[in-house]
């Protein structure tokens, strides 16, 4: 055990420390410490006032116990008491205890502050010293202001080196906070710096550290100069430049000592000077020299220097003057990346590669970073992934390379690819048409690897769902193959990925009708329909239903985010939330349940009449088949969606339909029938679209013929298609003045048709209103002096002409009769409309 010969021994303390060190186990140590703590506690609480020496000894012991790692919850008061002692050693121990153990939140701060104030006020410099130390290390706000001023003045007129060093630190911190106040310090700093740098080795003896003149002060002055922009005064600027050049020159000279301390000190000044040069960013000559110097260091023997060189070069790379110079070292940096054993140095190399990347070397750098990623430390992978993604996107000349890079990223470090990265790649693929096919192909190939990362499945699922059709031509990537590939990964994925895959499947159904059956089987399986996760179950159910009843057109309009939504059909749409309700009082066809209204059987015309004022409903039903309709009309065009529902548990085979019109009707009305599947599964529904064009006004109706084979027997059904003239009505609003004017204009006998008839149903105003609106006219209020009468106007659109129509319906509730007057510019139109409308009441 070394003997302590200097100063006051405090032998008790030495004994205590030896005891602790001799303890054989942790428990023994704790026991000894507790014994001592109890002893000290009793001494502090005791009646006898402790003398200064004992107090000092005990406080010191407490400090030691604290340093061992145990908490001290008493003794602070005694330490503060020591502060007010007159003896230097006691004060010293008191201050030491305070600075180690007390932080600024303690209650004793006020007492401590008082003690410090007293010491500062005392004339005794040593006491002032201790007090200042405490302030500096513990940091009380009140003392700060006074220090600022004192310090600055001292600095300006001091030639005492040590003080200057200390003061410079303070000035630097203050200059960072309020640079304008300390502008004059720049000039002084440059002066002092040049004195140091150009000094002969005999000056500044005391402050020469291993043959380097005052390294700490030089570094501090250079730091201070970094708080300010390059000096405006030309003389000052040139002096500074001279300084920096001298420093750079010194770096080239042979070393004066073999010791590492010498080179460390010398290089410390050099690095700080380079930092200043980079900060100023104004002298291209200096920047290039700095870059070259750093380039040398990149291959230095010492790891520390290589590390620092890489770090400094990072900042250098962002300056426009030196960017090119930095790029010349790319091979060295890449080599460092591959061969350095120290992970922190490799990390610096990655940062530098990222900083020096631009269009000319992006491919090379990204390739290197990717190969590094394969063996990189796990803690830094996420950062590297992000860097590679950013570089790939920023400098991608053609997007195929970008797609390749990101897919590689996912393959190598899939876990660390955050969501933003793969969202971005999908965003880019969707917006760049020319890369879509390539992306689909690459993703398809990547998915064939036996073990794919889940992120790859997500990206692959999305891209194949959107653009799988681009590669479907090749038999190796036919739709079925694509689907099987995706589905093979299905069970390995987490819930969000599975949800994404289900969406991809419905997109497949849209793109490739031939795999519809296979996919439907998958959706129909219990594992989907009864899946524990609500999201998956909902998607499976809805997609299955959607695939069964919808035609490709609907799916296209609903699924694709790119295309504008087609006019809504008003039935329960699971995906499109912007459905506009159908006009008037028409019924909605409920896709999932049967209608409650009894449907007419074959041959009856009743259904036909029902459809005059409404567009949707069931038009026919028997034991086997239910036919529903949804129609929409615009001007002289119309479209009817016919739904054939198989009510049985047997398939309908050889299903075919046709629409026939008699000779009169054929030129007046064009009906185009879209082809339909010859097979309707049991319980399934088939949809057919009929496009209608009204060429001229007509009074007949086309007939829909249906034929199919059910269980061996051939079925034949005919239904009158409810297409009437009023379907092509466009309601027209007008003022009463206009109305009467036109009414008079249409006064010719053939233009008017009037009918008086008995009301068939109960006379109800609202029902009548609804019927008139359903008929297609606009109801005009305030035209007829009698409020009970109805007045309407509209235009019949045909391909050849447009016929304006005015009507007036006068109910006579007492007699339960109506008088209907119709005036149009064409007799046949008036006739037909009157006929149609009168049947409704």
Partner 1 sequence: MMQFMLLFSRQGKLRLQKWYVPLSDKERKKISRDLVQTILARKPKMCSFLEWRDLKIVYKRYASLYFCCAVEDQDNELITLEIIHRYVELLDKYFGSVCELDIIFNFEKAYFILDEFLLGGEAQETSKKNVLKAIEQADLLQEEAEAPRSVLEEIGLT
Q: Which one, 7 or 598, has the nearer CB to partner 1?
A: 7
Element (H, E) at 639: strand 637-646
Give whichever of 63 and 515 is closer to partner 1, judged by the CB atom.
63
Q: Is 59 annotated as a binding residue?
A: yes
* Interactions with partner 1, residue window 264-283 (CB under 8 A): 264-265, 267-269, 271-272, 275
Distance CA 89, CA 7 (A): 9
User: CA-to-CA distance for 11 and 600, rounded, in angstroms?
Assistant: 116
List the interface residues with partner 1, window 802-821 (CB under 8 A): none
Binding mask 113-152 for partner 1 (x = CB under 8 A): -----------xxx--x---x--xxxx-------------
Q: Does 105 bind partner 1 (CB under 8 A)?
A: yes
Q: If we measure between CA atoms, which residue out of 288, 358, 335 comes closest to residue 316?
A: 288
Which residues are CB-contacts of 187 (< 8 A; sequence separation ≥ 6)? 231, 233, 236
744 is in an annotated binding site: no
Q: Which of 83, 165, 334, 824 binds partner 1 (CB under 8 A)?
A: 165
* Residue ranges in 298-317 that form contacts with partner 1 under rule CB under 8 A: 303-304, 306-308
- Structure tokens given for 808: 């007036």
- Cβ 230 to partner 1, closest distance in Å? 18
Contact call for residue 318 and partner 1 (CB under 8 A): no
Compute the least distance from the CB of residue 460 to partner 1, in Å.
37
Q: Within 10 Å of residue 770's Cβ, how many Cβ atoms?
A: 17
Binding residues for partner 1, rule CB under 8 A, total 72
To partner 1, the closest distance from the beta carbon of 533 in angstroms equals 39
**Any known ligand binding at 584?**
no
Q: Are 136 and 170 in contact (CB under 8 A)?
A: no
Q: Which stretch binds partner 1 (CB under 8 A): 342-350, 352-360, 493-501, 633-641?
A: 342-350
- For partner 1, what does the binding mask look like between residues 759 and 798, x meaning CB under 8 A? ----------------------------------------
Interface with partner 1 (CB under 8 A), residue from 162, 255, 667, 747: 162
The partner residues of 703 in beta bridges, in order of sequence, read 660, 720
The minimum distance between CB 350 and partner 1, in angstroms, equals 13
> Buried (b) or exposed (e) across 593-606, using 16+ Cβ within 10 A?
eebeeebbeeeeee
Antiparallel, parallel or unpaired: β 685-694 and 637-646: antiparallel
Instruction: Select the residue interacting with partner 1 from 38, 41, 160, 748 (CB under 8 A).
Output: 160
Residue 579 within binding range of partner 1, rule CB under 8 A: no
3-state SS track over 515-549: HHHHHHHHHHCHHHHCCCCHHHHHHHHHHHHHHHH
Residue 247 phi/psi, 5-degree rounding, is -60, -45
Cβ 69 to partner 1 shortest distance, Å: 7
Distance CA 614, CA 584 (A): 8
For the bound state, the minimum distance from the C-beta of residue 398 to partner 1, rounded and expressed in Å, comes to 36
Give the up-direction half-sphere exposure of residue 665: CA atoms within 13 A in the CB hemisphere. 18
Residue 196 beta carbon to partner 1: minimum distance, rounded to whole angstroms: 12
Cβ 349 to partner 1, closest distance in Å?
A: 12
User: Interface residues for partner 1 in 9-38 (CB under 8 A)?
Assistant: 14, 17, 21
Interactions with partner 1, residue window 465-524 (CB under 8 A) = none
Among the residue ranges 209-217, 323-331, 395-403, 626-634, the one whose residues contact partner 1 (CB under 8 A): 209-217
- The alpha carbon dihedral of 95, 99, 102, 108 has a sign of positive
User: Measured from the CB atom, is 379 or 649 closer to partner 1?
Assistant: 379
For residue 60, say whether it is annotated as part of any ligand binding site: yes
DSSP 31-67: HHHHHHHHHHHHHHHSSSPPPHHHHHHHHHHHHHHHH
Cα(158)–Cα(162) distance, rounded to whole angstroms?
10
Under the binding rule (CB under 8 A), the answer on residue 708 touching partner 1 is: no
To partner 1, the closest distance from the beta carbon of 8 in angstroms equals: 5
Alpha-carbon distance values, 710 to 63, 650, 681, 716, 719 (Å): 100, 7, 11, 10, 19
Task: Kindly state the smallest distance separating residue 161's Cβ from partner 1, in Å.
Answer: 7
Two tokens, residue 645: 């529902």
Examine residue 223 and tell whether it contacts partner 1 (CB under 8 A): yes
Token readout for 269 is 């000044």
Q: Least distance to partner 1 from the beta carbon of 40, Å?
A: 16
DSSP state of 664: T
Instruction: From 33-41, 207-215, 423-431, 557-565, give the range in contact with partner 1 by CB under 8 A.
Output: 207-215
Pairwise CA distance, residues 765 & 35, whole Å: 103
Rg (the chain; Cα; Å): 47
Please list every residue from 68 through 97 that binds partner 1, using CB under 8 A: 69, 71, 86-89, 92-93, 96
Determine the Cα–Cα distance for residues 704 and 661; give it in Å rounded to an integer. 9
Give 303 or 691: the residue with its C-beta nearer to partner 1: 303
In the block, which residue shows the tokens 């499947």? 505
Told to check if 337 binds partner 1 by CB under 8 A, we report no
Restricting to residues 246-265, which ones interact with partner 1 according to CB under 8 A?
261, 264-265
Residue 178 burial (C-beta neighbours within 10 Å; 0-12, 13-18, 19+): exposed
Selected binder of partner 1 within 345, 519, 692, 721 (CB under 8 A): 345
344 binds partner 1 (CB under 8 A): yes
Q: Are 591 and 571 in contact (CB under 8 A)?
A: yes
User: CB burial class (10 A; 0-12, 13-18, 19+) of residue 676?
Assistant: middle
Helix (H) or strand (E) holding 441: helix 433-447
- The token duo for 550 is 């919808």
Sign of CA dihedral 742, 744, 748, 753: positive
Binding letters toward partner 1, positions 44-73, x by CB under 8 A: ----------------x--xx--x-x-x--
In the complex, least distance from residue 62 CB atom to partner 1, rounded to whole angstroms: 12
Between 115 and 138, whose beta carbon lies closer to partner 1?
138
Residue closer to partner 1 by CB (options 127, 698) is: 127
61 annotated to bind ligand: yes
The H-or-E segment that residue 812 falls in is: strand 802-812
Would the annotation count 58 as a binding residue? yes
For partner 1, which stretch binds (CB under 8 A), given 162-170, 367-375, 447-455, 600-608?
162-170
Instruction: Select from 414, 416, 424, 422 the least CA-distant residue to 452.
Output: 414
Cβ at position 175, least distance to partner 1 in Å: 13
| 576 φ/ψ sector (left φ>0, alpha ψ -120 to 50, else beta) | beta
Contact 210, 258 (CB under 8 A): no
> Counting contacts by CB under 8 A, is residue 209 touching partner 1?
yes
Q: Is the dihedral of CA 107, 111, 113, 115 positive or negative?
A: negative
Pick 6 or 177: Cβ nearer partner 1: 6
Coil, strand, or helix at residue 672? strand
Give the residue with the Cβ less far from partner 1, 206 or 526: 206
Question: Is 473 marked as binding a ligand?
Answer: no
The least CB distance from residue 30 to partner 1, in Å, is 15
Exactly one of 342, 374, 398, 535 binds partner 1 (CB under 8 A); that residue is: 342
Closest to partner 1 by CB, 270 or 522: 270
State the nearest-atom distance from the C-beta of 356 to partner 1, in Å: 20
Identify which of residues 173 and 448 has a Cβ nearer to partner 1 in the complex: 173
Annotated binding site: 11-12, 43, 53, 57-61
């Amino acid at each position: 055990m070394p003997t302590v010969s200097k100063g006051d021994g405090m032998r008790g303390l030495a004994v205590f420390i030896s005891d602790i060190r001799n303890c054989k186990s942790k428990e023994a140590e704790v026991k000894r410490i507790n014994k001592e703590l109890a002893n000290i506690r009793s001494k502090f609480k005791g009646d006898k006032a402790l003398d200064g020496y004992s107090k000092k000894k005990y406080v010191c012991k407490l400090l030691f116990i604290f340093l061992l790692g145990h908490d001290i919850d008493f003794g602070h008061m005694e330490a503060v008491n020591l502060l007010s002692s007159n003896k230097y050693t006691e004060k010293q121990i008191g201050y030491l205890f305070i600075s180690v153990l007390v932080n600024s939140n303690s209650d004793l701060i006020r007492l401590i502050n008082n003690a410090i104030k007293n010491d500062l006020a005392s004339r005794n410099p040593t006491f002032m010293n201790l007090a200042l130390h405490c302030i500096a290390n513990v940091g009380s706000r009140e003392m700060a202001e006074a220090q600022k001023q004192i310090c600055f003045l001292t600095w300006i007129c001091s030639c005492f080196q040590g003080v200057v060093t200390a003061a410079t630190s303070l000035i630097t911190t203050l200059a960072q906070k309020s640079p304008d106040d300390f502008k004059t310090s720049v000039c002084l700093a440059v002066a002092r710096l040049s004195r140091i740098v150009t000094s002969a080795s005999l000056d500044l003896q005391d402050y020469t550290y291993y043959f380097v003149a005052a390294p700490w002060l030089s570094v501090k002055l250079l730091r201070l100069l970094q708080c300010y922009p390059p000096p405006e005064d030309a003389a000052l600027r040139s002096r500074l430049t001279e300084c920096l050049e001298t420093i750079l020159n010194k770096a080239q000279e042979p070393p004066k000592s073999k010791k590492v301390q010498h080179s460390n000190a010398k290089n410390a000044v050099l690095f700080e000077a380079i930092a200043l040069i980079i900060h100023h960013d104004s002298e291209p000559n200096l920047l290039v020299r700095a870059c070259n110097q750093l380039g040398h260091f990149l291959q230095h023997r010492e790891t520390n220097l290589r590390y620092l060189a890489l770090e400094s070069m990072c900042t250098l790379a962002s300056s426009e003057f030196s960017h090119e110079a930095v790029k010349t070292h790319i091979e060295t940096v890449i080599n460092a990346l591959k061969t350095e054993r120290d992970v922190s140095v490799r990390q610096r190399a990655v940062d530098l590669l990222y900083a020096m990347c631009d269009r000319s070397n992006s491919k090379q750098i990204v390739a290197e970073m990717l190969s590094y990623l394969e063996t990189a430390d796990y803690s830094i992978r996420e950062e590297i992934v992000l860097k590679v993604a950013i570089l790939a996107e920023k400098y991608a000349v053609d997007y195929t390379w970008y797609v390749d890079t990101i897919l590689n990223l996912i393959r190598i470090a899939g876990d660390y690819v955050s969501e933003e990265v793969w969202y971005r790649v999908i965003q880019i693929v969707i917006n760049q048409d020319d890369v879509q096919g390539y992306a689909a192909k690459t993703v398809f190939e990547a998915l064939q690897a036996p073990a794919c990362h889940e992120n790859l499945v997500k990206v692959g699922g999305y891209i194949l769902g959107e653009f799988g059709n681009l590669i479907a031509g090749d038999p190796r990537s036919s739709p079925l193959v694509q689907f099987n590939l995706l589905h093979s990964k299905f069970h390995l994925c987490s819930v969000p990925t599975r949800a994404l895959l289900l969406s991809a499947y419905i997109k497949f159904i849209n793109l490739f009708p031939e795999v519809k059956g296979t996919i439907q089987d998958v959706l129909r399986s219990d594992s989907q329909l009864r899946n524990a996760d609500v999201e998956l179950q909902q998607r499976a159910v809805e997609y299955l239903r959607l695939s069964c009843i919808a035609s490709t057109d609907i799916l296209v309009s609903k699924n694709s985010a790119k295309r504008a939504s087609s006019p809504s059909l008003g039935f329960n749409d699971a995906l499109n939330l912007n459905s506009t309700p159908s006009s008037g009082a028409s019924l909605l066809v409920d896709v999932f349940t049967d209608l409650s209204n009894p449907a007419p059987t074959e041959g009856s015309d009743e259904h036909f009449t029902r459809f005059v004022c409404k567009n949707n409903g069931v038009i026919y039903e028997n034991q086997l088949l239910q036919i529903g309709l949804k129609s929409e009309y615009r001007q002289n065009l119309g479209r009817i969606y016919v739904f054939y529902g198989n009510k049985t548990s047997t398939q309908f085979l050889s299903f075919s339909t046709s629409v026939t019109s008699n000779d009169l009707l054929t030129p007046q009305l064009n009906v185009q029938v879209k082809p339909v599947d010859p097979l309707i599964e049991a319980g399934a529904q088939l949809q057919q679209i009929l496009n209608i064009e009204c060429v001229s006004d007509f009074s007949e109706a086309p007939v829909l013929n249906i034929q199919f084979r059910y269980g061996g027997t051939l079925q034949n059904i005919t239904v009158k298609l409810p297409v009437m003239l009023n379907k092509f009505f466009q309601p027209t609003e007008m003022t009463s003045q206009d109305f009467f004017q036109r009414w008079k204009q249409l006064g010719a006998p053939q233009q008017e048709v009037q009918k008086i008839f008995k009301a068939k149903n109960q006379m109800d105003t609202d029902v009548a209103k609804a019927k008139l609106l359903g008929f297609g006219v606009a109801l005009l209020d305030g035209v007829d002096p009698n409020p009970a009468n109805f007045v309407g106007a509209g235009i019949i659109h045909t391909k050849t002409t447009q016929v304006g129509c005015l009507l007036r319906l006068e109910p006579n509730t007492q007699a339960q009769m109506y008088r209907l007057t119709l005036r149009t510019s064409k007799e046949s139109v008036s006739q037909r409309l009157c006929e149609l409308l009168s049947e409704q009441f």
